[in-house]
Amino acid sequence: MAVTDSASPEPVRFETHPDRYKHWRMELPEEHGGSVCRLVMDVKEDAGLRPGYPLKLNSYDLGVDMELADALMRIRFEHPQVKTIVFASGKDRIFCSGANIYMLGMSSHAFKVNFCKFTNETRLYLEDMSANSGINSLAALAGTASGGGYELAIACDDIILAEDGNAAVSYPEAPLLAVLPGTGGLTRLTDKRMIRRDLADAFSTIAEGVRAKRALEWGLVDEAPPKAKFADAVTKRTQALVAKSKRTPMPKIVLPPLEATRGDNGAEYKYVSLAIEPGSRVATLTVRAPDGDTPKTPDELAKQGANAWPIRAFRELDDALLELRFNRLSVGVVKVLTAGDADKVRAVDAMLAANKDDGLVNEVVLLMKRVLKRMDMTAKSFFALAEPGSCFVGSLLELAMASDRLYMKDTDDGGDVHLGTTAMNGGLLPMGNGLSRLQSRFLKDQSRAQTLVLSPAPLSTKAALTAGLVTYAPDDIDWDDEIRIAFEERASMSPDALTGMEQNLRFGGPETMETKIFARLTAWQNWIFIRPNATGEKGALTLYGKPERPEFNWQRT
């Protein structure tokens, strides 16, 4: 059987569609000429992803966030006329009360951490839409936004909070639950909104939150109109965001279902395969090159639509990575393989790089970037294997550079084992630290990354080893034994230690708001979740909603 979270007997499936949304409404009012999309959060209390908790007060679980992530993707591709998103609530006096506490309390540690990570990635995608797609966002808070609800708001460009004597913003996690705002809340206060440290400290420890007037004074919101003028303020600010948008026109691309074939031993897509090796704690992730005509222009890309290789392959890869995270917890090491015609990958990459300012091409490249970042943040060991028939070139070379190690076979006759760069490796697919994966690899000498991109000739095993792209290069005789031993050794190590080690080593170089968010999430929130003050028998999260008071260990560590 598939290994799933202990509290979830059924595997989590991330594909959805607006026709199946239970908790969000996508509205495209005509008065804005279709340039504004209203995403209305109206969470259905009895429609949680799993049984056992009501989603009261517009609180959310993973199912709610899956719909939001899908909506953002569809706005990018299926609604090219949209320039601004307005987030609103379908309920009176409450915007969103954050992650559902009872859901967190009954979930395993692994599920809690993966839930927070997925939620955080979705918030970062919203910010990416503003920075790189020209799609701005406004949080229209006609009621209280608490915890993750305010974290959604703070991921937007602008926040309006109604001054009605009741509505407030708050981070109640520390005082009420003994945990932290898990989706980058603290980091966005200081690094995005640049709130003073003392005010951020006070705000993060006031359980009831801060109402409109003070929230505006402290910089927690951008506007705090009285309730009677709230709608007008939202309209005015929305119009300003539309006028400010720099979204480039593009054709509509409809995103159909992925048509994956799933089973206990993995999933099979058109360009991606995920195979689980029973009893070994090892999975094999294979990504294949294009198998048909590659688009030579943006118009040809548009005609191929969602079946175009860079769209379909990376959507499939994203789904496979989420399958590994949520449904295959016991998998420790992932064998990363590629296959197919390297020249076809080069052709796609060349078209994308040459037309990077085109609206559709931009969205495709941003999709590829987001999926590769998902791989960077996935708590599995990734070992890439370059063998005869491999296709680690350009955008697929990024899979090897995202891996923790790269093994490349050193064949007796030189063989058909090559690596290669394209313009896509030169910064179009950056990591969370703002650098390309080649730059992150060669922090000591950045010129080596530039030299490799400017010299895209195929590299043999010896040349790739000399260039610093390869970890180990066993020959034909030793290959099988060395690979077997490497995977057995890795799979035998503590997953906790490996997760901490890998996430530290993957993000060298500059620190950005994004790397800070994930560093604090994977380190401090991960640690706090397993501390007795939060999740112990007498912990605050465990006892939330019960008459007993939590009992804390008062030693500071």
d(CA 423, CA 557): 48
What stretch of H or E contains 136? strand 136-141
Can you say whether the dihedral through the CA atoms of 485, 491, 497, 499 is positive or negative?
positive
- What per-residue confidence (pLDDT) applies to 1? 31
Q: Strand, helix or coil at 308? A: coil
Residue 175, sorted as left (phi over 0), alpha (psi -120 to 50) or beta, turns out to be: alpha
CATH H-level, domain 18-244: superfamily? 2-enoyl-CoA Hydratase; Chain A, domain 1 (3.90.226.10)
- The total number of residues shown for the chain amounts to 557
DSSP-derived secondary structure for 311-371: HHHHHHHHHHHHHHHHH-TT--EEEEEEES-HHHHHHHHHHHHHTTTSHHHHHHHHHHHHH
Rg (the chain; Cα; Å): 24
What are 535's two structure tokens?
A: 């999740």
- What per-residue confidence (pLDDT) applies to 413? 66
- What per-residue confidence (pLDDT) applies to 523? 74
- What per-residue confidence (pLDDT) applies to 159? 98
d(CA 241, CA 138): 8
DSSP-derived secondary structure for 73-102: HHHHHH-TT--EEEEEESSTTEEE-EE-HH
Can you say whether the dihedral through the CA atoms of 383, 387, 390, 394 is positive or negative?
positive
The CB-side HSE value for 363 (13 A sphere, CA atoms) comes to: 30
Do 261-499 and 18-244 fall under one CATH topology?
yes
Angle between helices 359-376 and 109-128 (to 10 degrees): 160
Q: Strand, helix or coil at 33? A: coil
What are 357's two structure tokens?
A: 């300012």
Rounded to a whole number, what is the largest CA-CA distance in the chain? 79
d(CA 126, CA 73): 10
Q: Which of 407, 505, 506, 423 is nearest to 465 (CA)?
A: 407
Are 414 and 435 contacting, i.e. CB atoms less than 8 angstroms apart? no
Please enumerate in sequence order all residues whose Cβ is within 8 A of that of 322, keeping only pairs 6 or more positions apart, or say none: 12, 14, 118, 374
Low-confidence ranges of the chain (pLDDT < 70): 1-9, 413-414, 522
d(CA 354, CA 429): 14
What are 293's two structure tokens?
A: 């005509």
What are the boundaries of each domain within the chain?
18-244, 261-499
φ, ψ (nearest 5 deg) of residue 41: -90, 115
Q: For 255-280, how does the pLDDT look when each residue is reduced to its tens digit (9 = 90+)?
A: 999 999 999 999 999 999 999 998 88
- What per-residue confidence (pLDDT) applies to 9? 59
State if pTM tops 0.85: yes
d(CA 237, CA 374): 33
User: In CATH, which of 1.10.3720.10, 3.40.50.1820, 3.90.226.10, 3.30.70.360 is domain 261-499?
Assistant: 3.90.226.10
SS3 labels along 196-243: CHHHHHHHCCCCCCEEHHHHHHHCCCCECCEHHHHHHHHHHHHHHHHH
DSSP-derived secondary structure for 399-439: HHHHSSEEEE-B-TT-TT--BB--GGGGTTS--TTSS-HHH
Please enumerate in sequence order all residues whose Cβ is within 8 A of that of 462, keeping only pairs 6 or more positions apart, or say none: 410, 473
What are 311's two structure tokens?
A: 């769209």
The CB-side HSE value for 81 (13 A sphere, CA atoms) comes to: 9
Q: CA 257 → CA 13, 58, 77, 189, 312, distances in Å?
A: 12, 28, 14, 37, 10
Can you say whether the dihedral through the CA atoms of 513, 514, 515, 519 is positive or negative?
positive
Q: Cα–Cα–Cα angle for 144, 145, 147, nearest 5°?
A: 135
d(CA 18, CA 28): 13
Are 424 and 395 contacting, i.e. CB atoms less than 8 angstroms apart? yes
- What per-residue confidence (pLDDT) applies to 4? 42
Q: For 43-74, how does the pLDDT look when each residue is reduced to its tens digit (9 = 90+)?
A: 999 999 999 999 999 999 999 999 999 999 99
What are 466's two structure tokens?
A: 């000399």
Are 35 and 298 contacting, i.e. CB atoms less than 8 angstroms apart? no
